[in-house]
Amino acid sequence: MDLYDIPLQSASSVMMSKSGDYSRDYAKGIGAEFVFAKPGGVIELFSSDAETGALKLLSSSKTFSTIRSIDNYRVQGSKRDQIVVATDSGSIALFRFEGKSEGYAMVQVQCEVFGKTGVRRVVPGQYVTAEPKGRAIMVAAVEKQKLVYVMNRDSAGRTTISSPLEAHKSSTITFDVKAVDVGFDNPVFAALELSYADVDADGTSEAASKATKQLTYYELDLGLNHVTRRWTKTVARKASLLAALPGGSDGPSGVLVCGEDYISYHDESQADSDISVLLPRRTHHPSDSPIMVTSVAVHKQKKNKFFAICQTELGDAYKISINFSDDKVTGLRAQLIDTLPLAVSLNVTKMGLLFLAAEFGDHILYQLNPSIIDLPGSIEMDSVATAKLIKKGDYSTANANTHAPTFTPSTTLSNMRIVDTINSIAATTGLLVGEYTGNEVSPQMYTLCGRGPRSSVRVLRHGAAINQLAVSDLPGTPSAIFSVKGEDNDDKYIVVSFKDATLVLSVGESVEEVSDTAFVTDAPTIACSKLADGGMVQVHPNGVRHIKADGKTFKDWQCPGLKKIEHASCNTNQVLIAFESQVGEICYFELDEAMNLTEKVTKDLDVEVTCLDIGVIPKGRNRSMFAVLGGVDDTVRVLSLSPQDYLSNRSSAVVQGRPSSICVVDMANEKGTVDKVLNVGTANGIMQQTTIDSTTGALAGNPNKRFLGAKKVEATRVVVDGKICSLLLSSRPWLSFVSNNTGSLTTTPLSYTTLDHVCGFSSEIVNEGIIATAGSTLHILTIENIESVFNETVVPLRYTPRQTCLISGKIAVVEADANDSSEDHKAATYGGAGSKAKAVGEDGMDMDDSDNEESDGGAETITTVRGPIPASKSSWGSCLRLLDPKTASTVDLLELSDSEAALSCCAVQFASQLGEVLLAVGVSKKLEFRPVKAEEHFVNIYRVTNGRLSLLHSTKVGGVVLSMTQFQNKLLVGCGGMLRLYDVGKKQLLRKCEKVVSRTAVKCVACAGDRIYVGSMSESVQILKFDPGRQVMNLVCEDAMPRSIVSMCVLDVDTVCATDRFGNVFVLRSPKNAVEESVVVDDAGLWGRKVGAQFEILCQYHAGEIITSVKKASLVQGGAEAIVYVTITGKIGALLPLVTKDDVEFFNGLQNELRKKASRPVGRDFGKYRGTYFPAKKVVDGELISLWNTLSGDNQKEIAEELDRSVADISKKIESAATKLL
């Protein structure tokens, strides 16, 4: 077996983010810019629109590594920022962003190797920070090692990097590193460290309990080219984060030290001072629970004006004001701003934009309100009051709980508003794939996403989303629809053709029917267009009408004799018509110098014409040079429209089916030139794409073919996102365009109902819209984000989703959150507390009614708030939910008690239940994690009646239930390290047999026939065979490697695909004789364990991210079946089987050549990255294959010669493989 890993959607989680001036181009309306480091080694550049603030992706680059840290770096004298990236490649790399014709690209400036590969505690790279003046960079490891690089520029202006200078300190753990702003003095770096030298020498835990953290300044002496430990000071034991303040002429310098409950200021110039501020606490927060600061950002305003914004683990954001005089800090003040989603990174721009890279859920861009300056009425605390209340150095949680001011968080933003969001499905914990709505062509993907109150089920559909602006009824069923432009670029008329009439609609502030135009309205319209003379042309069955610029006068050309026009195409200068004729008679018109539409030539093609197109006139020319016609003989012909050889045949090709429509589109390719792309739709639902030579009219060989649906294909030109695209109609609409991400031609479906006819539309209100007909209705639409592979529908959840299953046409979801409580408990315990009247929100958190009164901010001022954390560590919030996939809404919700957590579920049909399908739910009571223990574990059985859940009975089991499945009309349960088989009884489940399969918990259970597949947390995958006569399970096969399984799916009776917690995916197959050997009976009886055969490893591969769910599925109608997977960070991909020897040899050969030719952005070897833990085997790296389009023409030719293929053949082969899946 050979697999091809096709990435469908990159990770949506963000590990780190930075803001700066990377490639700012104000002429293009680019405002603030942000760089994201994503899991899987992806670096993205986003910009916000200067007017609307909307975020747009400018560049996405793969590093084929694990990114550990990034920071901004600005070369001295430059106005643009670069980024320095530390990865598991054992090197640091500097990048800049350059604008190109097809977009922006990340270009490597320097790559300096310093250590071993991998994420190791003693190899630098976990922390990287650049000195504000661009003179030096420090790279630090978690333990011991720190390196400093001196940065310079050579005579040509290129950035150079020195050999590393060591600043190591043995037996030292580093928690954070930041560059201190000291102006133009010698560069200084601050490190938060803890020395464990005494701990190692002490056999007791006394030294460990007394260990202290130190804030250390490292100075780079530029004269001596040497690094020294300049200054050290003891700070709070639980400090974890540093933030550097502006220095030199812009501020007092120094750093903020953030930890639990307090924030302190420290600097060498004020070594003896103790300036700390106590953070306000929530009213109902447990008294013994500290509040940790998790992220901080410094907002620089004008000279000597700045403040910091920090966020705690609960999501509460504070403004930290720094009071200083004569470069000496005199005090700190902490003021509550708002409660925001928990961030992994905060970035504040000069324009007052705050970007929040969320740990879970969508990332958000906020605009700070002017009230952020003073925050009137905000809860606050200052360092002076803190010093009076708390003894110096006694910064304990008990003191914080006693003296800190309290507040009740609000779900309404007071000091900022939401500008834009970036969709994120992280963290993804589960996946269902199937067509469960009953009325769609392709299956949907149901992903379990997020955590806590930001959790959701996201229904992903392949294709771009369509925004429906208006729908209205028509007096009949149209046969065609057209839009005609006016004097400006906006459309003036919408022309709707019926079987025997034409309806003309005027476009203005509203769309209304008009009758005073010169259009022929008592006959159907075959084609119409605006002309270069300011007039219009209308083609109807009886002739051609040229409407003059005044819109009243016209000139008709009548068909000779009894002839009728059947097909036509026109642009601003040309008209081509085809008569109802078996000999294929066509007639060509042009607009002459006198602005008269003149007949030029008539010709018989000797074949009946089924469709035709003359395309649009290229920029800088006065005519389209070619016409393309389809005939009943299943051919397409390219005819010349040049005056020297009107309608002469230039080329022809046979197509797979009778052509039903033709559309010629000029599209920019990845090389910056324009391709004339020919789209041919056939009556059997197949779309074929090829290119036409712009000079000779020759058709390229080997067209791309794709099945679009059961209906005939109609093609037309539309403008979307500023580019000309082909809109293709069949059983569902499709869009063909050149992708900015890959630079290649992409065809993607649109998530909308079946459309009959369509054309482009533009008006003052709708810039790039579409007018379509479906039956007897008229639709005005716009297409959203054509680059997105999937569009999503969001169903909000109450708690973190754990598992999902399909039951009786509904989707069951079990949700549970640790350190939470039920909605009833929140309402009873916290609902009446506080001095203000409270209202319990959907998430159960208290909200001030005053914040909800007359709030006119709408959705842009709403934020999520996690409910009060209970004092008990064994308290859970959990519920069961039934979703209707047809409406994407909740049908029923059943809340569990405070101490119960629903962790797994499955649908089961017992033999004695007469076909009734029941829901089995694995529940743990008072579950704790450190150490892992629980009071009891249950399997609850629920009956689903009329969409409502009701408890049938509950059964105690011996361990935590993380997976269940139906097996031979019984319930197979993985409880702890044991596998049990249950049948249903009247009051509880009846145990039929059991077997110990692992020393740790069973994570996955599946079955096929009489075989049982088990994946555990430490002992990989096993196959068992059930003996119904003896009611025992015998071991058939097991894995030799002790893998920690996360997810699993059965491919066939002998083959299973599984993933582990280190980001590996692998396919295992049992030997042929394994089943026969398994039937030998053990003397040990029920508890015996026979050593089984060993799995054969068919495929294995490092995906780079933890894969949380794998499913064998097909994503589109008629598409190939593949192994679809999702990762914890929101990446979606598929492992497509390579079924032919030619495909296997081609993709493996191309992969090997790309490993040699493709650039390595951070120096990481492609093959070693995919074999981080185990050697990669029989899996082709699709992300590496995608680099083919980024290679230079010379490199592509060299690879093509090595593979004995043409460049075009290789490109087509890559595209066709992806087309099989989507």
pLDDT one-digit tens code per residue, 829-846: 776 443 333 333 333 333
Residue 1098 · residue 1117 · CB < 8 Å = no
For 517-575, what is each residue's pLDDT tens digit?
Answer: 999 999 999 999 999 999 999 999 999 999 999 888 999 999 998 999 999 999 999 99
Q: Please give the average per-residue pLDDT across 212-240, as a whole number.
A: 95
In angstroms, the CA 1005 to CA 975 distance is: 11
Q: Where are the beta strands (DSSP E) in 641-697?
A: 649-654, 659-668, 674-682, 686-692
Residue 182 · residue 148 · CB < 8 Å = no
pLDDT of residue 1135: 98
pLDDT of residue 858: 66
In angstroms, the CA 593 to CA 1207 distance is: 44
Counted residue by residue, the chain has a size of 1222
- The secondary structure of residue 207, as a DSSP letter, is H
Tokens of 56: 């747009």
For 972-994, what is each residue's pLDDT tens digit?
Answer: 999 999 999 999 999 999 999 99
Confidence of residue 894 (pLDDT cuts 50, 70, 90): very high
Q: Please give the average per-residue pLDDT across 263-291, as a whole number.
A: 93
The 3-state DSSP composition of the chain as helix, strand, coil percent (nearest 5) reads: 10, 50, 40
Tokens of 944: 């689903």
DSSP string covering 574-589: EEEEEES-TT-EEEEE
Report the DSSP pairing between strands 281-282 and 406-407: parallel
- CA distances for 843 relative to 678, 800, 808, 859, 1197, angstroms: 54, 12, 28, 16, 59
Report the DSSP pairing between strands 543-547 and 554-558: antiparallel
Q: Is the pLDDT of residue 847 over 60?
A: no
pLDDT of residue 1078: 64
Q: Is the pLDDT of residue 190 over 70?
A: yes
Cis peptide before 710 (omega within 30 of 0): no
DSSP string covering 482-514: EEEE-SSSSEEEEEEE-SS-EEEEEESSSEEE-
In angstroms, the CA 442 to CA 438 distance is: 10
Q: Please give the average per-residue pLDDT across 4-28, as a whole number.
A: 87
Give helix 1193-1203 / helix 1141-1157 axis angle, nearest 10°: 140
In angstroms, the CA 284 to CA 833 distance is: 9
In angstroms, the CA 69 to CA 79 distance is: 23
Our CA dihedral for 28, 29, 33, 35, rounded to 10 degrees, sits at -50
For 233-274, what is each residue's pLDDT tens digit?
Answer: 999 999 999 999 999 889 999 999 999 999 999 999 999 888
Residue 1025 · residue 1010 · CB < 8 Å = yes
In angstroms, the CA 960 to CA 950 distance is: 23
State whether the Cα torsion 1073-1078-1080-1083 is positive or negative.
positive
- CA distances for 838 relative to 378, 537, 827, 845, angstroms: 18, 67, 10, 10
Q: Which helix (H) or strand (E) holds 945?
A: strand 936-945
* Range with lowest mean pLDDT among 155-159, 289-293, 395-399, 511-515: 155-159
In angstroms, the CA 916 to CA 247 distance is: 72
Q: Is the pLDDT of residue 735 over 50?
A: yes
Q: Rounded to 5 degrees, what are φ and ψ at 370? A: -60, -25
Tokens of 1049: 């799916």
Q: Is the pLDDT of residue 716 over 50?
A: yes
Report the DSSP pairing between strands 1032-1038 and 1093-1094: parallel
pLDDT of residue 1077: 67
Q: Is the pLDDT of residue 675 over 90?
A: no
pLDDT of residue 70: 98
For 1014-1066, what is each residue's pLDDT tens digit?
Answer: 999 999 999 999 999 999 999 999 999 999 999 999 999 999 999 999 999 99
Q: Which helix (H) or strand (E) holds 1209?
A: helix 1207-1221
Confidence of residue 957 (pLDDT cuts 50, 70, 90): very high
Q: Which helix (H) or strand (E) holds 1213?
A: helix 1207-1221
704: closest CA among 667, 679, 729? Answer: 679
Q: To the nearest whole number, what is the mean pLDDT of the chain? A: 91
Half-sphere exposure of 160 (CA within 13 A, CB side): 8
Q: Rounded to 5 degrees, what are φ and ψ at 1178? A: 55, 35
Q: Rounded to 5 degrees, what are φ and ψ at 1071? A: -65, 160
Q: Please give the average per-residue pLDDT across 1100-1109, as a whole number.
A: 97
Q: Which of 719-733, 842-856, 1010-1024 has the highest mean pLDDT?
A: 1010-1024
Q: Which helix (H) or strand (E) holds 6?
A: strand 3-9
pLDDT of residue 1091: 64
pLDDT of residue 898: 84
In angstroms, the CA 723 to CA 714 distance is: 20
In angstroms, the CA 188 to CA 660 distance is: 71
| Identity of the residue numbered 254 | G
Residue 507 · residue 530 · CB < 8 Å = no
For 602-638, what is each residue's pLDDT tens digit?
Answer: 999 999 999 999 999 998 888 999 999 999 999 999 9
In angstroms, the CA 93 to CA 111 distance is: 4
622: closest CA among 601, 643, 639? Answer: 643
Taking every pair of C-alpha atoms in the chain, what is the biggest distance, in angstroms?
110
For 511-523, what is each residue's pLDDT tens digit?
Answer: 899 988 999 999 9
Report the DSSP pairing between strands 464-473 and 745-751: parallel
881: closest CA among 805, 774, 975, 991? Answer: 805
Residue 247 · residue 268 · CB < 8 Å = no
For 1139-1194, what is each residue's pLDDT tens digit?
Answer: 999 999 999 999 999 999 999 999 999 999 999 999 999 999 999 999 998 899 89
In angstroms, the CA 189 to CA 216 distance is: 8
Q: Please give the average per-residue pLDDT across 471-491, as a whole number.
A: 92
For 452-476, what is each residue's pLDDT tens digit?
Answer: 999 999 999 998 989 999 999 999 9
Residue 768 · residue 720 · CB < 8 Å = yes
In angstroms, the CA 529 to CA 160 distance is: 59
Tokens of 568: 């036509």
Q: Compute and round to an integer the Cα radius of gyration of the chain.
A: 34
98: closest CA among 183, 200, 29, 22? Answer: 22
pLDDT of residue 102: 62
Question: How distant is the alpha carbon of residue 821 from its chain centre?
Answer: 31
Q: Rounded to 5 degrees, what are φ and ψ at 638? A: -105, 120
Q: 157 or 934: whose pLDDT is higher?
A: 934
State whether the Cα torsion 692-698-702-703 is positive or negative.
positive
Q: Is the pLDDT of residue 373 over 60?
A: yes
pLDDT of residue 391: 82
In angstroms, the CA 1024 to CA 1038 distance is: 9
Q: Please give the average per-residue pLDDT across 721-743, as a whole number.
A: 88
Confidence of residue 1081 (pLDDT cuts 50, 70, 90): very low
Residue 7 · residue 1187 · CB < 8 Å = no
Instruction: Give the domains, in start order, of the chain with CATH numbers.
Output: 467-787 (2.130.10.10), 821-857 (no CATH), 1138-1221 (1.10.150.910)
Give helix 1141-1157 / helix 1207-1221 axis angle, nearest 10°: 120
597: closest CA among 512, 535, 681? Answer: 535
